Structure 1
């Protein structure tokens, strides 16, 4: 008896139901917004897809904008936090960006709905100033300060790199279609993440050889 471990306190039934309802609303909103865009989905459509009542929606979110913020936090912030923890001990900004780009493209490849959402919202002000966008801006500035990157315009570098990542994701998603022509142009899904990282690092001033070596380093797992 004395060796028994104390049990974790059980989540109260009411709290569990509230959490599950909130998760259903976020998941439904995410699916719809990935297909049509953040601002093209109504509350009625979200509650219908989640199979919950309008009243339940307002028990969790005061407006559609509040739900949008929760979806963005789920898509952009949580993943960016995971990446931050992954690269915390890495001092080279080029290696940090390569790891972040590769993991982002690979996640989109394995989770197409997540990738669709990122493509639709990735260049919005919301995305560029939070989550992945904010981390990319930070890492570009770190690289400039360390003289690792050579760019006269950090803001345009952020936009260009962001667009490059989204373009790589869109291309990878396109190759999943049976009638896609991209594979005939030489796009191999197996190497797309590394190739994207290498080209983006070259855009920040690294030589092709340097960028390619860094983009192909062993990738730490999330």
Structure 2
């Protein structure tokens, strides 16, 4: 947001400068709307992915894996998520609310053993954001520091699955079960087609 002027936004959108103020009171207002829309859209995608899943552990595993993979395929989106992932807007809407819901569902189903749901939320969310940063900096093909992992004796192989398995263990599952869950194929998102 800091690097763009309102006239650049209006030029890119091919609208008049005055038209901008018919919809937004400031650059900050359009940025807030962008944050809401990006995270709500992705949260809806995760809900569609998990729609037929009844096990809260599988829901978390699918969501974590899909999030890390999305960042791998769309690094700009990944950096945006890192930047805004723990903002008040992101935590109180869309992704944040759904993660709290999914952890709560796991606790209610006695699938997760979490004494403090908010700390569980922070642990999962923080780990996912750290994993995205690692994906973009060390793991993804062509990452700026791709050789650093190998130099340290680490591997980026199966990174989304390893991240999800560790988080399931953090939420109380045994390692063998967590690894079995994350080895399942990811569900495919059905694209919704709007009728005109």
| Both structures adopt the same fold (TM-score exceeding 0.5) | yes
1:221 shift after superposition: 1.2
- Tell me which residue corresponds to 1:44: 6
Partner of residue 119, structure 1: 82
1:187 to 155, 163, 169: 155
Measured in 2, the distance between the counterparts of 1:200 and 1:112 equals 22
**Any idea what SS the aligned residue of 1:182 has?**
helix
Aligned CA-pair RMSD? 2.0
Tell me the distance in 1 between the aligned counterparts of 2:46 and 2:113: 24
In 2, Cα distance between equivalents of 1:63 and 1:177: 35
Structure 1 runs (4+) greater than 4 angstroms displaced: none
When residues 187 and 55 of structure 1 are mapped into structure 2, their CA distance, relative to the original with a 3 A threshold, is farther
Q: Which residue of 42, 46, 54 maps to 2:17? A: 54
Gaps of 5+ in 1: 1-32, 34-39
1-structure distance, mates of 2:76, 2:112: 33
Counterparts of 1:196 and 1:183, CA distance in 2:
18
Structure 2 unmatched runs, 5+ = 190-196
In 1, Cα distance between equivalents of 2:145 and 2:107: 42
Using structure 1 for the length normalisation, give the TM-score.
0.75
- Cα shift at 1:89: 1.8
1:106 aligns with 2:74: no
Q: Distance in 2 between matches of 1:183 and 1:117?
A: 27
Q: Displacement of 1:49 after TM fit? A: 6.9
Is the contact made by 2:36 and 2:89 (CA closer than 8 Å) also made in structure 1?
Answer: no
Q: What secondary structure sits across from 1:86 in the alignment? A: helix
Number of equivalences? 183
Q: Distance in 2 between matches of 1:216 and 1:49?
A: 47
Decide whether aligned partners of structure 1 residues 187 and 74 sit closer, same or farther in structure 2, where only a CA change above 3 A counts.
farther
Deviations 1:14-63 (A, max 9, x none): xxxxxxxxxxxxxxxxxxx4xxxxxx355437527727543232233233
Match of 2:113 in 1: 150
Map of 2:126 onto structure 1: 163
Deviation at 1:77, TM superposition (A): 0.3
Q: Residue 92 in 1 paired to residue 55 in 2?
A: yes
Match of 2:192 in 1: none
Change (3 A) 1:173 1:49: farther
Distance in 2, matches of 1:59 and 1:50, equals 17
Quickly say closer, same or farther: Cα 1:46–1:110, change in 2 above 3 A.
Answer: same
CA-to-partner distance for each residue in 1:100-147, whole Å, 9 max, x for gaps? 111110000000000000001111121112111111100100100110
Q: Which of the pair has the greater relative contact order for Cα pairs under 8 Å at 6+ separation? A: 2
User: Is contact 2:137–2:145 with CA below 8 Å preserved after alignment?
Assistant: no
Q: In the alignment, what sits opposite 1:173?
A: 136
**Partner residue, 2:99:** 136
Larger deviation: 168-177 or 153-162?
Answer: 168-177
